[in-house]
Amino acid sequence: QQPVQSPQAVILREGEDAVINCSSSKALYSVHWYRQKHGEAPVFLMILLKGGEQKGHEKISASFNEKKQQSSLYLTASQLSYSGTYFCGPSWGKLQFGAGTQVVVTP
């Protein structure tokens, strides 16, 4: 039942792009994305809602395919500050988080 995230880990050089995918076995109302740096609390990045509405605090792009029950997070022109573990949280009423994707951005 836990959403499936892929890849499990990715290593990037500064300036490179990456895509993190999140798949659910259930129909979704929304998808949340959070980033957690080592030893810190998860921090909200974005919510994608049915119908295309998005709420976010940062300049990060994401997509939400309701029919396929999938969401993707796009890390474009990655910066060192993008390093961390990214969690998706598909919601069908309650949030359930994926296991996370570890992203390491190197100079």
Partner 1 sequence: NAGVTQTPKFRVLKTGQSMTLLCAQDMNHEYMYWYRQDPGMGLRLIHYSVGEGTTAKGEVPDGYNVSRLKKQNFLLGLESAAPSQTSVYFCASSYSGGVSYEQYFGPGTRLTVT
Residues near partner 1 (CB under 8 A) are: 2, 29-30, 32, 34, 40-44, 47, 49, 55, 87, 89, 91, 93-100
Burial of 88 (0-12, 13-18, 19+ CB in 10 A): buried
How far apart are alpha carbons 88 and 24 in whole angstroms? 10
CB of 48 to partner 1, least distance (A): 10
Tokens of 54: 């998005």
Shortest approach of partner 1 to residue 97 CB, angstroms?
A: 4
Q: Which is nearer to partner 1, 21 or 96 (CB)?
A: 96
